[in-house]
Amino acid sequence: MADSATLATGQTSDVVVLGGGSGGYATALRAAQLGMTVTLIEKDKVGGTCLHRGCVPTKALLHAAEIAENTRSAGEYGVLASFSGIDMAAVGTYRDGIVARAYRGLEGLIRSRGITMVHGAGRLVAPRTVEVAGQHHTGRHLVCATGSYSKTLPGLAVDGQLVITSEHALALDRVPASAVILGGGVIGCEFASVWRSFGAEVTIVEALPRLIAGEDEASSKALERAFRKRRITLKVGRPFEGVESTDRGVRVTIAGGETIEAEVLLVAVGRGPVTDQLGYAEQGIRLDRGFVVTDERLRTTAPGVAAVGDIVPGVQLAHRGFAQGIFLAEDFAGLRPEPIDDEAIPRVTYTMPEVASVGLNESKARERYGEAVRTVTYDLGGNPKSNILKTQGFVKVVSIVDGPVVGIHLVGDRVSELIGEAQLIYSWEAYPSDVARMIHAHPTQNEALGEAHLALTGKPLHVHG
């Protein structure tokens, strides 16, 4: 890896990427694979939010949480074990080990592809040119990939102690005795699930009428039911009004004047784009509420400048960034890849139970296709593997009469592992009859997908009534 200090002013490459998170490093890796010279500029660590502060460390915590739940319920399976608490230092060691291993692997990949890594904060200063510590890096193509940050609400100050974001929550060296989580989206729900499994008293405050409001209404309802059963307190449709510190933590006031006391307040109200003060607007890149406006080929309004990842409006997911990065590199190489269909991007909330989906939810499908929409919901109660796991939930398939499947929605432990098949069904525009012909191994949770499609074709197998 070359260091920025060793590069001459006026360094040029085929591709310059500003930001080494999921979107940026995927662009760099694919462009290098296609024979282009690539400069990747990163001010912190390659891997970005996903590897260091997002997907990977949170999923390690969620796995530890699953083990805690399994230990508590071991007796139900005839296994003698007792749960005596969480050693947060040991959980941290496990989590950090996973991150460190992936980080080493990623650094090695970047080295082996011959990518020039520049360490430092960059800023656009001229067409397709980024300045880092006085050095200019110009690309035939410039890719903005500066990612996102945890937002807060106007007037709600994050102090990192009592009022925290997901970054602070991940770094906590203890399990809070109690927590109020502001925001019932994916990140808020995942922390609620972890902390509850670790023994905390958790309350979620959400202004919208339901949790994970972008998902199918049935999925939100199922998650809410499961959370209530786990004694997570839900205040949905109840906007936040204020917070004050107390001797023992925080007192949160919500609409209607109700107050909730807790040790910490986790603010999980979404992620804003990192686009300020980076010279974007000055170089002709149009921004909309801070997000970078692009066309379907991810080109910004500045010639030769593209954007990927969380700064581009749409679902903020690591695998969307990977796909966009691959797309851009192939586009630069003249391979004319197909634009990405954002609706085909699978979405997973890794709570207990998990929620996963691809394509349209029922209400969006009805807006688009009206009366032609058909749905079938197959209850996991009829699926032996789910019964073995003692998980409840469903597979809901949304399809068009005499047409393809346009959405699949899953709730239940481990259903994230079914989303791959669901995505193939959606992306290949399969008709229910195409899927009904597929033989699903028994006993698996995938069988529930098969059963739902059998039901849609009028020949349900394991369905009563």
Ligand X SMILES: Cc1cc2nc3c(=O)[nH]c(=O)nc-3n(C[C@H](O)[C@H](O)[C@H](O)COP(=O)(O)OP(=O)(O)OC[C@H]3O[C@@H](n4cnc5c(N)ncnc54)[C@H](O)[C@@H]3O)c2cc1C
Q: Which stretch binds ligand X (CB under 6 A): 44-52, 240-248, 257-265, 431-439?
A: 44-52
Nearer to ligand X, 27 or 445 (CB): 27
Contact between 351 and ligand X by CB under 6 A: the answer reads no
Q: Which stretch binds ligand X (CB under 6 A): 8-16, 20-28, 196-204, 383-391?
A: 20-28
Site string for ligand X, 21-40 (x = CB under 6 A): xxxx----------------
Q: Is 52 a catalytic residue?
A: no
**249-288 positions binding ligand X, by CB under 6 A:** 274, 278
Residues 6+ apart with CB under 8 A from 241: 253, 254, 255, 257
Site string for ligand X, 320-339 (x = CB under 6 A): -x------------------
Contact indicator for 205, 180 with CB cutoff of 8 Å: yes
What is the rounded CA–CA span in Å between residue 131 and residue 134?
6
Q: Rounding to the nearest 10 degrees, give the CA dihedral for residues 97, 272, 260, 88.
A: 10
Helix (H, G, I), strand (E, B) or coil at 128: coil
Nearer to ligand X, 19 or 176 (CB): 19
What is the rounded CA–CA span in Å between residue 262 and residue 83?
24
Site string for ligand X, 150-189 (x = CB under 6 A): ----------------x--------------------x--
Cis check for the bond before 443: say yes or no (omega within 30 of 0): yes
Q: Name the strands in the sheet holding 178-182, side by side, starting at the edge strand that comes first in the sequence.
A: 163-164, 264-267, 178-182, 201-206, 233-236
Q: How many residues bind ligand X (CB under 6 A)?
A: 36
Q: How far is the CB of 274 from ligand X (least distance, A)?
A: 5
Nearer to ligand X, 164 or 454 (CB): 164
Site string for ligand X, 117-156 (x = CB under 6 A): ----xx----------------------xxxx--------
Q: How far is the CB of 48 from ligand X (least distance, A)?
A: 3
Q: Rounding to the nearest 10 degrees, give the CA dihedral for residues 133, 117, 170, 213.
A: 100
Site string for ligand X, 207-246 (x = CB under 6 A): ----------------------------------------
What is the rounded CA–CA span in Å between residue 69 and residue 218?
25
- The β-bridge relationship of strands 163-164 and 178-182 is unpaired
Q: How far is the CB of 27 from ligand X (least distance, A)?
A: 9
* Torsion 429-434-440-446 (CA) sign: positive
Residues 6+ apart with CB under 8 A from 43: 119, 120, 121, 122
* Token couple for 133: 């510590």
Select which of 442, 453, 462, 464 is catalytic.
442
Residues making contact with ligand X (CB under 6 A): 18-24, 41-44, 48-50, 53-55, 58-59, 121-122, 145-148, 166, 187, 274, 278, 309-310, 316-319, 321
Catalytic residue positions? Answer: 442
